[in-house]
Amino acid sequence: MTSKELEIEFDEAVKRVNEHTEPFPADFLLRLYAYYKKATNDYSRPNSRKPIINAFKTNALFQVKDISEDDAKKEYIKLVYNYFLYRT
């Protein structure tokens, strides 16, 4: 897959998540959050009003610290694909 193809698939996965109207499971959201932040090279600090949510987000980011931006995009795409494929 070329970089351009990866970017297109990633953008489509992000769009699919953003257009989904039902709530996602919290653990799924944390993984999406971490992979998205890594994929987009966004290293801003979590900014929830609730410290516990910031702690969970920080932990999720820490877990993906050693993967590349392209690998983060691939994982994000895979998560989204599998979620919509297997959800009941």
Question: What's the confidence (pLDDT) of residue 88?
Answer: 53
Q: Find out whether 80 and 17 touch, Cβ atoms under 8 Å.
A: yes
Alpha-carbon distance of 41 to 51, in angstroms, equals 23
- At 35 the pLDDT is 97
In angstroms, how far is the first alpha carbon of the chain from the final one?
A: 30
| 3-86: CATH, from 1.20.80.10, 3.30.9.80, 1.10.340.30, 1.25.60.10 | 1.20.80.10
Per-residue pLDDT of the chain (88 residues; tens, 9 = 90+): 899 999 999 999 999 999 999 999 999 999 999 999 999 998 788 888 899 988 999 999 999 999 999 999 999 999 999 999 987 5
> In the structure encoding, which two tokens stand for residue 84, read together?
């919509």
All structural domains of the chain with their residue ranges = 3-86
pLDDT at 45: 81
pLDDT value at position 25?
93
